[in-house]
Amino acid sequence: MSDRRTHIAALDGLRGFAVAAVLLFHAGLLRGGFLGVDLFFVLSGFLITGLLLGEAGRGRVALAAFWGRRARRLLPALVCVAVVSVSATWAWGTSTQLRLALDDLPWVGAQAVNWHYITEQIGYWNASDTRIFAHLWSIGVEWQFYLVWPLVVAVVARGRYGEQVVALLAGTGALLSLVQAVSLGAAVDTTRAYEGTDTRASALLLGALMATAPVRSMVRRVPRRAADPVCLVLACALAVSWAVTEGEKAPLLFRGGLFLHSLAAAVLIVLIVGVPGTRASRVAGARLPTRLGEISYSLYLWHWPVYLLVLPRLSGLGDLGAAAVAIGVSLVAAEATKRLVEDPVRFRSGWARGRRGPAAVAAAALIGVALWAVVPVPVPGAGTVDISRLK
């Protein structure tokens, strides 16, 4: 297997570890597993910037084509999950869950759930357990990054020193984002610092920085015997932070903790990619984490609606038994979505050849609009949800 394929497998594996951490966190089994989202952000910044710089190096960045690929990659599964989640909540959820799902649905369509929660002062740490779409704040952050950052790269990556300028902007932007996060993180409710696109841009921009030529050239000079222990230390640091960090109660989380976690993830990623044959690359590229990474997007989308609708009905199984069933349902739904929806539309294969894929996604989106319009909004306070098992 070539180095390039090994690196891709290893990055899929890192996605697998990240989504596993999030699943365990939301099941109440890993207190700092929410930090897996930051690993997703860093990976996204790294991979997207690498693609953009590759296009810039060949002449110009085709922005319309880039956004079209992002839409084919991300929208089909998102539309599918949104429509099914609202329907399932209507059928089996509480009146509170349904009312809040209908309230959030337009913001899901606008890719701005994070700013909806911030504007309405809906605290992430104490109000998400009744909201089917609470986890989509991070998808909003990524979409907003995908809209702005390619424009920046397309403009500044031209010329002999284009990648150096991109590196300077990414590094400077990450530091400014850190300053903003520290300033806003001192508030009683840290939702603004946690979900703001500006405050979370540091993770995406640190990943972008690692994809630039100045950093890549430095990493290529690192011997494997030096990279292996560094990767081990970084991987252990990430694992420990996932195990011990207590969300908003962690005193250093919004005083640079999130930034340091993202920086460690960014350095680990660039070492895995830039130094062939590291042990970290082999571990991350193992079959189980890479398989999880391949379905990580759909798995992330499905797990929270499944948890909210399924976990309260499994109290007789105990914490671990209920979590195992909910995770199993999420895995099955994610695998089906990837095979039947994501891949056909993304690769224009099977039933989605030609214009059938985009047409089907548009039709599903219209169904979502119809659900939002016709489903009666429950009266506030008409129902509650047992959140004792949700974290």
Q: Is 349 left (phi over 0), alpha (psi -120 to 50) or beta?
A: beta
Give the whole-angstrom CA distance, residue 140 versus residue 142: 5
pLDDT band per the 50, 70, 90 thresholds, residue 207: very high
Choose the weakest-confidence range: 43-47, 209-213, 347-351.
347-351
* pLDDT tens, residue by residue, 17-55: 999 999 999 999 999 999 999 999 999 999 999 999 999
Report which residue type is found at 131: R
pLDDT band per the 50, 70, 90 thresholds, residue 7: very low
pLDDT band per the 50, 70, 90 thresholds, residue 143: very high
The proportion of the chain whose per-residue pLDDT surpasses 70, expressed as a percent, equals: 95
Identify how many contiguous H helices and E strands the chain contains and give both numbers.
19, 0
pLDDT band per the 50, 70, 90 thresholds, residue 381: low
The predicted structure's pLDDT at residue 35 = 97
Q: Which helix (H) or strand (E) holds 249?
A: none
The predicted structure's pLDDT at residue 189 = 82
Nearest to 292 by CA among 15, 85, 55: 15
Q: What is the largest CA-CA distance in the chain?
A: 65
Chain mean position to CA 368: 22
What phi and psi, each to the nearest 5 degrees, are found at residue 274? -90, -20
Residue pair 303/81 in contact (Cβ under 8 Å)? The answer is no
Structural tokens at position 388: 């004792």
CA angle 142, 148, 154 (to 5 degrees): 125
Q: Evaluate if residue 108 carries a pLDDT over 90.
A: yes
Q: Evaluate if residue 191 carries a pLDDT over 80.
A: yes
Give the whole-angstrom CA distance, residue 173 versus residue 206: 9
The predicted structure's pLDDT at residue 391 = 43
pLDDT band per the 50, 70, 90 thresholds, residue 4: very low
The predicted structure's pLDDT at residue 248 = 77
Give the whole-angstrom CA distance, residue 34 versus residue 54: 32
Nearest to 370 by CA among 79, 78, 95, 75: 79
Residue pair 319/28 in contact (Cβ under 8 Å)? The answer is yes
The predicted structure's pLDDT at residue 161 = 87
Average pLDDT over residues 112-117: 96
Residue pair 48/326 in contact (Cβ under 8 Å)? The answer is no
Average pLDDT over residues 221-225: 93
